[in-house]
Structure 1
Amino acid sequence: MRALIEFKDKRTILNVMEQASLDVYHIVRELSFLEGARLERIYNKGDTYYLHFYKGKEYVLKLWPGRGLYLTEKEEREQVPSNFCMLLRKYLRNKKLRKISQLDMERIVIFEIGGHKLIFEVMRPGNIILCDEDLNIIFPLHIQNFGTRWVKPRTPYQPPPPTKKLEDAKKSERKDVVRFLAVDMGFGGRYAEEICALAGVKKTKSPRELSDEEIEKIRRAIEELKEKGVRPLVMNGVVLPFPFKSMRGEGKRFETLSEAYDSLAEEKKEEREIVIDYKEHERKAKEYKEKAEYIIENFGELEEIFNALRKRISEYGWYGVDEFLEHFGRRIDSYDPEKRAVVIDGIELSLERSLGENLNLYYDLAKKYERKAERAKQVVVKKEEKPKVKKEKRKKKWYEKFHWFISSEGFLVISGRDAKQNEILIRKYMEPNDLVLHADVHGSPFTLIKNGKEAGEKTIQEAAQNTVNYSKAWKMGYGAVDVFCVSPHQIGLAPPSGMYMPKGSFMIKGKKKYVKDVKPELAVGRSEGEVIAGPRSAIRKQTKHYVLTYPGDEEPEELAEEIAKILGVGAEEVIKVLPGKSRLWR
């Protein structure tokens, strides 16, 4: 039977995203590859912090206090960083992440960065706490007093009281096993149900009645959930590290837990303005109003039954109530001693109130849902006036973080944007069948022609021109520059003994093949709504919509605005491909 007093559903993006202790366990294992990475930048949006680590490439770690942590591609920033953000930059910037670990099986993660420890408390209300090597608090995001512990500067860090152990089950006051696992042991509802399902233990069983054999089965189920291979998915609006025996349905699969959390967070963000089904509110308002009107129409009869039942229960309790109810025939449908409620003629009435008070309650509920229906209608009207079209985001290819183009012969050509990218390009992406190019000038990118040993002279000429375009030759206004081309085996990754090579530099061994007098010229075009850039012969093979640029005096920002208007694209995308001060061919 339905409860008379309604409980609001408080599930939101926040608690849907909240990570349980086993979620934290698996995400920490996933993030362990970041150990050894350098923390380069720190930003915040409110209480959410974004840590930019570099290890071969950049990774952005989102710390969402009270919710969880994961790598993200959807960063938000305050225009002015918080004082705590500035403090973290002062102590942690450019330091190495030595270790990331979970404190026991608690929802607490410890980052050892340089000579400091950054403690991230996932459980609500959440906190980020900067400590020294000995866990003395330098400063927390929030100063907190929980009665049993203080979180404040110049005091030792004290974790919250530990969760209960499985051995405590037989002393638990919880009603059933699933609540003991979810609340007392901190596994949360989803994992508690899955543990019971794997162990073959009835979740409604009292924890005090568990046998030693059942406790051992639960222990093994917990270990199984810790050691199980991760196959992330989003199912029924929550992230799971792998399919659950206790949950049915098809989930959306992801490569990593971070991708799953990031996708769900974005999805829930878009659902914040939900168009509420106002018809459901109208239905409830009508139902409560009809019940109130029925009580008024039959008030005398209902009051006689209701008062007689209240008197009988107050004098003798609920014992023998079934025989007493037989006097009233079928008018009493059911009763609930726990809620002290009875259903008469299909209407639930609370025995804690008089019949008149129950009547007023139904009228209040009817008015409440009438107001909700009206507000929901207004939301629907606004949605219809301003339809929101969800734009599908194209997933970027790995090479799009570099300068790149497709040659007129169909080969992928990639150039580094700076010394760091030169290093990555040669050490990580160079393969034996590629060709490597470099301009004969200080300040040139390294360029790879993927599978370049199969490429013709036309592709090599185009790759040479793009190498010159993004070298110092463009900024210095040189008319022409020579470019050399070598095979990967001619690249020396380490300097000879006693010598030093700057970052992004390599030794070249053996004979070089030269492309002489290469003139800088960059075509900027639009293809399938996106900006592309490269040599003229390569770009015009892909689109008719392009302009030609040369070294000049116009600032990149100003020229990007002009090119964007010509091509019908965003200026911020154009500026990414311009090598420096330039001019348009007119």
Structure 2
Amino acid sequence: MDRKRELTSVDLAALEGELSVYEGAGVGKVYLYPDADLLRFRMRHYDHGRTELLVEVGENKRVNVTAPDHVPEAPERPPNFAMMLRNRMQGAELTDVSQYEFDRILELTFERDEETTRVVAELFGDGNVAILDGTGEVIDCLETVRLKSRTVAPGAQYEFPSARFNPLGVDYDAFAARMRDSDSDIVRTLATQLNFGGLYGEELCTLAGVDYNVPIEEATDEQLHALYDAMRRLADRLADSDLDPRVYYELSNPDAEDPTDEDGEIDGRRVDVTPIPLAEYDQRYGEPFESFNEALDDYFTYASDEGDDSGDSAGGASQRPDFESEIEKHERIIQQQQGAIEDFEEQAERERENAEALYANYDLVDDILSTIREARGADHSWDDIEERFAEGAEQGIPAAEAVVTLDGSEGTVTVEIDGERVTLDANEGVEKNADRLYKEAKRIEGKKEGAEEAIEQTRRELEEVKERRDEWEAAEAGEAGADGDGDESDDEGGEDEEVDWLSEPSIPVRQSEHWYEDFRWFHTSDGFLVIGGRDAEDNEDLVKKYLDRGDRFFHAQAHGGPATILKATGPSESYDGDVDIPESSKREAAQFAVSYSSVWKDGKFAGDVYEVSPDQVSKTPESGEFLEKGGFAIRGDRTYYENTEVSVAVGITCEPETRVIGGPPSAIEPATETAIRVEPGRYAQNDIAKRLYREFKERFADDSFLRKIASPDQIQEFLPPGGSRMSDD
């Protein structure tokens, strides 16, 4: 198991309350450790004494107060960023700690005299720390960010990322609507659409007794209610700071009765830290701590010294999947599903017995219901009726004694018959109330049938995991035998076996977000990023924000087309003049530029493209000319790619990420597990996208895989404007 390196949204929700106890602490000095992207605030609190607050946004991303003997040695010369903070914040008091929405962003507010300083720690992506004044303007930041969606740069107003959905404060209707809006399965919807992440998405499913992999369109209202109840319990614990933190270990000997070694230390390595115990980790050793902050300090102080998975060999052998944990998880789900089936059986039997009890006590129940209806017909209030029943009970009248309570808002009466309490509709007779109970028993039995189907599916998945484990172990045994022969060459023995993803029964989903996904994009066959605009506004932003020294600019020799940039360097790299872009990448960028232009829309199969350097692209028109939005003046000589063929391939990647990609066939086809070429044709974008989606779905043995990672809308994003058809190539 890979160790945890970043705090989750749930972690920050728990940490927010704990760190608030340090409000009032005064800042002494601020240190920056550039190699680790680590900020250290040395403070003093009236009650807590010396307080060392760490904000790390590098390889590890966390915020916590650490013990004084855990702080790293101060740098000899403070960088300018640290000096700026010292000048601005020395003597300031910490006045507020807050999580932004349900995002991985923590705000620390400091006050000195009438001056406000906000430290915004972004614990996602590449990580960042922005220092803001009282108006929200960025004074300085560790990393400058200039994206289409937001800007974080000195002198600019700080822009938070688009607010993520916060599930912790919503009612059931909003929760259910968000879930139903997904086209994925339950656990992935919780992880992505409700922003819980994978671990807590699985945890909620486990607590609710709901199978992870149920597609949303097949999820029942009962399952959503169970998930919502589990989420509310988690939300209440976080809001009340009802925490019970754990640092979880991967033990060297999981079967040992005592997890400690001869020195009394836990014999294993730390792999996770959580604010509450997790059912997902029932089979894993967890060390309890008094506070989540103390657990974080222990984890991030020592985990990095314990190394990575011991299963990784120096020779780069592939890591063995954790089949045992997966098997245990499926077995635990089966136990929970069996318990749910037993509960359904008991509930259904109880409803039937209650219905039969109504008939067995027909006269008594009819007397109660008739009394209520007659009193309501005479305009008596529900309170008056309840008082009459109470008086009757004191007089020993059996019908009155059987009444437990009345609910005027619902029009119901709860009675106790044969030791069981039954809620009845006071406007209906005995027969209709009994019939309603029989129908409820039948409905619950339907839930039981659904649970039985789910348990069979879980058992099949368990058998698949066991089969994969057996295949893996057989392959390992075969490799060991081959190594022992001495006949196989070292080169051949070191190669990883290629996976036939199309035939795999279950494909793991691995995705991450990238800044360039707001535009058209692809990576060339040589690994260079190419980005293009989808409209005039995109073209403006691309040239203004992303066209850098060393890049190459491409555009079709036709009106209407993407401003296309072949990037020489990444967004955080500086161009040193020593980047040689191969001709193959340039030709792919040219094909990209013409394929997504009006040439395709006009039904043509080729067009001309020109290439220039960044300094030849200008928004300043010649005298007497006018440049419309998205247009540019090109000055100087151009390199032409004449009669460039229009052609686009759309494909599905399975590693290292699972996603849809599209662009020139020479770049896309080798990078995908399967791809389809398209050319100008008669089908509208949405129609051809649906055709491609159906075709891709049929190519994978894993029926649910494509639905998890793609949709016709996502495929459509990679299709050129205008009509298309599948190519015969």
Scaled to the shorter chain, the TM-score interval is 0.3 to 0.5
TM-score, with structure 2 as normaliser = 0.36
